[in-house]
Amino acid sequence: MAHISQVPDVGIYADIPSACRTLLSAKAKAGKTYDDLAKITGADEVLLAAIFFGQMKASPDVLKSICSTLDVPLESIAAELGEGFVPMRGTCKMPPTDPTIYRLYEALTVYGHPLKQIIYEKFGDGIMSAIAFRCKVEKIEEESGTRVQITFNGKWLPYAWK
C-alpha cells in the first residue's frame, strides 16, 4: 500500500488551506490511511479525504477526533477549518492533468450521456444529488488483475415545475 510521505507546497497542495496541508503532513507522518482514520473517527473514508483537501467541512466531533489521532493542535486547525470555514469546492482545473483524475473525467466524458439516459429511463426527469451523496472506493481482485470499483450513491431529485 502506498502512502504519501511528504506534502509539497506546489500544485494542488498550494491551493488548499494551510490547515489541510498540516493534516496531510501529520497523516503522512503517522502512516495512517483514510480507512484507518475512518475506523477511528467513525466518518467515511471518502468524506475524510474530501475534508483533508478542503472540499468538505468536518463536524466538530470529527475534526476533534482527527486532530487527536494525528496529534495536531485542535485550536489551530479549528481556527481555519472549524465553524467559520467555507469550502471552495470543485476548484480542479479542467481538463484535469493528473492521470488518475483525468481518467475519472474521461470515464464521465465517455459514459456520462449514456449513464444519464439510463438514469432517466429508471427514474424519470431529474438529477442525482452530489450534496446528499456518498461514495465508496473498493479494491477488487479478479483473475485478470486488480480493479478499482467506485460507487456513487446520490439522492434522487426529480425536476418539478411549480
Q: Which of 18, 68, 76, 129 is catalytic?
A: 129
- pLDDT for residue 72: 96
Fold adopted by 99-158: Cyanate Lyase; Chain: A, domain 2 (3.30.1160)
Average pLDDT over every residue of 119-137: 92
The pLDDT of residue 6 is above 90: no
Q: Is the pLDDT of residue 155 over 60?
A: yes
Is 21 marked active-site?
Answer: no
pLDDT interval class at 98 (50, 70, 90):
confident
pLDDT of residue 10: 53
Better pLDDT: 10 or 7:
7
Which residue is catalytic, options 103, 138, 141, 143?
103
pLDDT attached to residue 114: 80
Q: Would residue 129 show up in a list of annotated catalytic residues for this protein?
A: yes
pLDDT reported for residue 97: 84
103 is catalytic: yes
Domain with CATH 1.10.260.40 in the chain: 11-81
The answer to whether the CB of 125 falls within 8 A of the CB of 135 is no
CATH of 11-81, one of 3.20.20.450, 2.40.50.140, 3.20.20.70, 1.10.260.40: 1.10.260.40
Return the pLDDT at 118.
85
What is each CA distance from 10 to 13, 72, 89, 96, in whole angstroms?
6, 22, 19, 16
Q: What percent of the chain has pLDDT over 70?
A: 93
Helix (H, G, I), strand (E, B) or coil at 149: strand
pTM exceeds cut of 0.85: no
Instruction: Convert the pLDDT of each residue in 18-49 to its tens digit.
Output: 999 999 999 999 999 999 999 999 999 999 99
Give the pLDDT confidence score for residue 62 in this predicted structure.
Answer: 96
Place of cell 446528499: 132
- Set of cell numbers at residue 37: 482514520
Measure the CA–CA gap between 24 and 18, rounded to whole angstroms. 10
Domain ranges in the chain with CATH number 3.30.1160.10: 99-158
Non-local (6+) Cβ contacts of 9 within 8 A are 21
Q: What is the spatial distance between Cα 7 and Cα 52, in angstroms, rounded to a whole number?
A: 12
